[in-house]
Amino acid sequence: MAQSLELGLDTFGDVTRGSDRNPETTAQVIRDLVDQAVLADAVGLDFFGVGEHHRADFAVSAPEVVLAAIAARTRRIRLGSAVTVLSSDDPIRVFQRFATLDALSNGRAEVILGRGSFTESFPLFGFALDRYETLFDDKLDLFSALISRDRIDWQGHTRPPLAGQEVFPKIENGRLKTWIGVGGSPESVVRAARYDLPMMLAIIGGDPARFRSYVDLYARAFAQLEQAVQPIGVHSPGHVGESDETAREEFWPDYKAMHDRIGAGRGWPPLARAAFDQEIARGSLYVGSPETVAKKIATTARTLGLARFDLKYSAGPLPHDRLMSCIGLYGEKVAPMVRDMLA
């Protein structure tokens, strides 16, 4: 873990505010996002992930298209989703789109598959929410077959069976790197192990150490299967500033705006400043100077035995220039510090 920790960035394409303090158009947000990824590549980061959403406050509904544009302007950084909502998509089409991205990027594509904490895609694409679990289980089973075999013989519950079917394009070298996004259920942990897939933990609140039980469960599941444990990653929100105070003051208003907007639909109370500060001090907000953020990432990496840490750097209307500054500091200062701390 110490020598191999990868450091990445995730974004949902949050609709930012412009210099006039009005929301940017979704088109401009997408163009800015590509520039952010280009900077992430330039400062030596390992991964750039783009989330899929279907609502007004997030600009990206087709991550693979955005990632293809990024692939054309970058050379080294790995590119993937954060996450792909497999439950409301077609596994074959998902595989084809990421296989195409893999070709365009010379083998740099990854996919993180999830059930989706936002459910707007289900009615949009005609899927019933009461089949939430069944859809994901069935489609993950098919996707697992797609990444493992050249010809597919498969039968499930949500689509007609496949017999000796080939799917194109083929992955040029090896197989498509596929993670399972896990939000907080033991069943999801065991599922990832059963399919022999890496696990990406979405830790968006509370002490990261509380997820150690999931890491241990993951290891036990692999031991029972008599297989080597796959890598573990963490996705958590944060912001890097020149100092602790600067980072907090830059991040607080826009993070609160995002939290309260989403929370209004989920029954959360408005975010208080004391709770925000507590989450930075003892929870899963990685906000502060480069040294503060680096120390916190290193602690989480040691505690959970991570192979990768992805900072979710976008936060509601937080503007493009602040996102670019955060990316620069994360790549040029935080990443080297973390690697030194873990060496």
pLDDT digits (tens, 9 = 90+) for 294-323: 999 999 999 999 999 999 999 999 999 999
331/103 Cα distance (integer angstroms): 26
51/14 Cα distance (integer angstroms): 10
140/218 Cα distance (integer angstroms): 18
7/233 Cα distance (integer angstroms): 10
Residue 1's pLDDT band (cuts 50, 70, 90):
very low
For residue 205, the model assigns a pLDDT of 94
For residue 175, the model assigns a pLDDT of 95
What integer best gives the mean pLDDT of the chain? Answer: 96
Helix (H) or strand (E) holding 275: helix 273-282
Residue 161's pLDDT band (cuts 50, 70, 90):
very high
For residue 87, the model assigns a pLDDT of 96
| pLDDT, tens only, 20-45 | 999 999 999 999 999 999 999 999 99
Res. 155: pLDDT tops 70: yes
Instruction: Calculate ∠ Cα 213-219-220, nearest 5°.
Output: 85
Full-model pTM: 0.97
Q: Which residue has the tokens 């707007």?
A: 120
Burial of 326 (0-12, 13-18, 19+ CB in 10 A): buried
Quote the longest CA-to-CA distance of the chain. Answer: 60
> Residues 315, 251: contact at Cβ < 8 Å?
yes
In this prediction, residues 274-288 reach a mean pLDDT of 98
| pLDDT, tens only, 74-125 | 999 999 999 999 999 999 999 999 999 999 999 999 999 998 779 999 999 9
Query: For residue 222, how many C-alpha atoms fall within 13 Å in the half-sphere facing its CB?
Result: 18
Which residues 6+ apart lie within 8 Å of 190 measured at CB?
217, 221
Res. 127: pLDDT tops 90: yes
Q: Which of 82, 55, 56 has the alpha carbon at shortest distance from 67?
A: 82
256/145 Cα distance (integer angstroms): 42
Helix axes 335-342, 290-304, angle to 10 degrees: 40
Res. 2: pLDDT tops 90: no
96/205 Cα distance (integer angstroms): 34
Please report, rounded to a whole number, the percentage of residues in the chain having pLDDT higher than 90: 96
